[in-house]
Amino acid sequence: MSSSLQKILNNINGGSAPVELQGLAGSSKALVVSMLSKISGQSPGETAPVVVVCESFDIAEVLLHDIYYYFGREGVYFFPFWDVLPYDNFSPHKGLTAQRFQTLDALLNQQARILITTPNALMQCFLPRNDFLKNTITLTNEFVGSPDEIGKQLLNSGYIQVDVVEELGEFSTHGGILDVFPLNLEKPVRIEFSENSKAHFLKPFDIQTQHTDQTELSSLKILPAGEILFNQENIDFARKSLPEYRKECAPEVLLRLRQSLQKKEGFPGIESLSPLFYPELETLFDYFPDELILIIDEEKNVNKRADSFYQEVFMEYEISTQQNKLTLSPESLFLTHRELQTKLTKHVSLVLNSMKINNTKARTVHQLQFVDNKSLRNQFESAKATSAAGYMVQLLQKWQSSGTPVLLSAKNQTHADGFQQLLDDLGVESTAAGDQLTTNRCPWLDWLEKNDTENTSGSIPILTGKVSSGFRKLDSNGKALFVLLTEEEVFGEKTRNRRLQRAQVHQTAGNLDDLREGDHVVHLDYGIGRYHGLQKISAGGNQNEFMQLVFARDEKVYVPVENIHLVQKYVNADGTTPKLSKLGEKAWKKTRSKVAKTVENIAEELADI
């Protein structure tokens, strides 16, 4: 079925029957999502958010940045899954938790226009809306109180008290001054109180210099700092829940958890025990408003990923139980893949597929002709052109002379100016659009439907912004009706990568023959530990071999032998015994970042010689 894209999008809403668009390629999916959100935003009443489910984090991130290009950043959010495995001995990165919580806050306050997520994240259970709202703190410059009073609220909301604030989720008090680094801000904020306990000012400040900005804030929202909140209500619930698990783990495990509750302190990986702290967990579906437009990107891949993820959860569950840890059931922490598919089927409004497939589901299917530009440059030989760049110039001139809407895109204004100069030298008339024609304000629908070619005839506009790729819209005979090309698609990639990639680590890492029990080793992600030999662990019906590494506080990590490239024998020139790394703490990450930066600086100096 073929129809105008504008008509198709106009008829999609939260209550309509599902529609499937096939034949999308390049960044055209992001453009469709952006246009749909703009169209739904023109309707009277509250704007329903557009929620897009992508199969993986990487694909979601590409789509997210492409949507920034077509739609802008305002109202666009990403809700990722954790960067750690289920039942792992590690907590998710604070920056990732911040991204998740900012998205939840936007949903609860009807500020989300477009939301990108993955099946893993949708299946996950976490703190309920009521707890999230109760532990969100709002202050104004009219606030009357004391730093200690706010400090107690911050502790209940998951913030950690330190001497000097350096990281997200930290706060400190010094006399009449309170510093806090909220998860929803890029800079920490200093609150200074006057003698009558009134907030004198709220100002962002620089971590390095400790100097406050000139700009004062009239109000400050502070989101919760963690997925486990050690307030009295949650602690009391956890204490009542613990006796149920006496038979499921070693006594020392329960003792450690009781001590954490007593001190109101978490430990790495405590997030996998969230059902102990909340009577009932919720999922992202519970945070969604009643009206939404749900889009599934590559439905078959999303369902397949949900299935494999739930199998992965079960395998991690079996490994965790064999390690005698307190391990809660997968059903208490995640939706099953079948439960997810049921919810997606109930809410879905639009399915996007790059391929044309035969679908037996009862839905309207529209066939589109959007193709990517990956193979364009490689066609120069069959076209008997002298070079790929020369062939692309010929195509641009052909499209330009025929009145086909053509747009070019450069990463920034400097690139756009260079792009224009090069094209002019090759006989292609182009214009760097600059601020006169920004990507989020372009009449994309008019151009795609070829209702308005005024801005695309004659000189070819060069837009500025980062987009993963362009695309072409074709007619049934393969003729281009609309073209968007990036500078890389015209003149080829120009990459200069000095960073050490994980794949390269294979070539430099040691092997098991070099290791003896008791040797100190360095794990790329976890830091310095001791090698305690090999251990066979059964999981998912298979028996696999793991390296047992022991870190500070006698915490153990089991590394599959196929990941030996992540582990190297520790070598110290002076022969002193190294200090073992503490899992989940910042010290190793800071050391690794500092070394990586030093290596990169040296590489840059060598490259300049």
Would you say residue 176 has pLDDT above 80? Answer: yes
d(CA 514, CA 569): 7
Q: In this predicted model, what pLDDT tens digit does every residue of 233-246 receive, in sequence order?
A: 999 999 998 888 88
Are the CB atoms for 352 and 19 separated by under 8 Å? no
Report, as an integer, the average pLDDT of 348-360.
Answer: 85
Would you say residue 253 has pLDDT above 60? Answer: yes
Q: What is the pLDDT of residue 75?
A: 96
β-bridge mates for residue 243, sequence order: none
Token look-up 């009391």 returns 236
Q: Name which residue leads in pLDDT, 539 or 151.
A: 151
Closest CA to 546 of 316, 346, 337: 316
Alpha carbon separation from 507 to 74, 340, 503, 511 (Å, rounded): 43, 41, 8, 11
pLDDT band at 346 (very low <50, low <70, confident <90, very high): very high
Would you say residue 458 has pLDDT above 80? Answer: no
Give me the phi and psi of 527, to 5 degrees please: 100, -150
User: 3-state class of 177 per DSSP?
Assistant: strand
Q: What is the pLDDT of residue 139?
A: 92
Q: What is the pLDDT of residue 507?
A: 41
Would you say residue 575 has pLDDT above 70? Answer: no
Give me the phi and psi of 409, to 5 degrees please: -135, 135
44 CA to centre of own chain: 32
Q: Is 67 exposed, middle or buried (0-12, 13-18, 19+ CB in 10 A)?
A: buried
β-bridge mates for residue 22, sequence order: 353, 367
pLDDT band at 30 (very low <50, low <70, confident <90, very high): very high
Which of 342-346, 435-439, 499-503, 524-528 is predicted with the least confidence, judged by mean pLDDT?
Answer: 499-503
Report, as an integer, the average pLDDT of 335-344.
Answer: 97
pLDDT band at 263 (very low <50, low <70, confident <90, very high): confident
Closest CA to 270 of 286, 256, 283, 249: 256
Q: In this predicted model, what pLDDT tens digit does every residue of 268-287 receive, in sequence order?
A: 889 999 999 999 999 999 99
Alpha carbon separation from 19 to 8, 53, 351, 366, 473 (Å, rounded): 8, 15, 6, 8, 20
- Say which residues have a Cβ less than 8 Å from residue 152's Cβ, sequence separation at least 6: none
Walk me through the domains of the chain, giving residue ranges and CATH numbers. 36-130+268-345 (3.40.50.11180), 137-222 (3.30.2060.10), 372-489 (3.40.50), 502-608 (2.40.10.170)
* Portion of the chain with pLDDT greater than 70, in percent: 88
Q: What is the pLDDT of residue 15?
A: 66
Report, as an integer, the average pLDDT of 339-343.
Answer: 97
Would you say residue 103 has pLDDT above 90? Answer: yes
Which 8-state DSSP code applies to residue 580?
Answer: P
Would you say residue 18 has pLDDT above 70? Answer: yes
Would you say residue 457 has pLDDT above 50? Answer: yes
Q: In this predicted model, what pLDDT tens digit does every residue of 73-94 receive, in sequence order?
A: 999 999 999 999 888 888 999 9
Q: What is the pLDDT of residue 565?
A: 79
d(CA 489, CA 253): 57
Report, as an integer, the average pLDDT of 533-549.
Answer: 78
Amino acid 240 reads K
pLDDT band at 503 (very low <50, low <70, confident <90, very high): very low
Are the CB atoms for 80 and 100 separated by under 8 Å? yes
d(CA 262, CA 478): 70
Would you say residue 560 has pLDDT above 50? Answer: yes
Would you say residue 339 has pLDDT above 90? Answer: yes
Q: What is the pLDDT of residue 393?
A: 92
What's the predicted TM-score (pTM) here?
0.80
E strand or H helix at 464, and its extent?
A: strand 460-464
Q: What is the pLDDT of residue 498?
A: 43
Closest CA to 552 of 584, 515, 516, 576: 584
Which of 107-111, 302-306, 352-356 is predicted with the least confidence, judged by mean pLDDT?
Answer: 352-356
Q: Name which residue leads in pLDDT, 296 or 563.
A: 296
- Say which residues have a Cβ less than 8 Å from residue 501's Cβ, sequence separation at least 6: none
pLDDT band at 151 (very low <50, low <70, confident <90, very high): very high
Would you say residue 510 has pLDDT above 60? Answer: no
Q: What is the pLDDT of residue 497?
A: 47
390 CA to centre of own chain: 39
Q: Name which residue leads in pLDDT, 556 or 289.
A: 289
Q: What is the pLDDT of residue 171?
A: 96
Mean pLDDT of the chain: 87
E strand or H helix at 390, and its extent?
A: helix 388-402
Q: What is the pLDDT of residue 499?
A: 44
Q: In this predicted model, what pLDDT tens digit does every residue of 109-140 receive, in sequence order?
A: 999 999 999 999 999 999 999 999 999 999 98
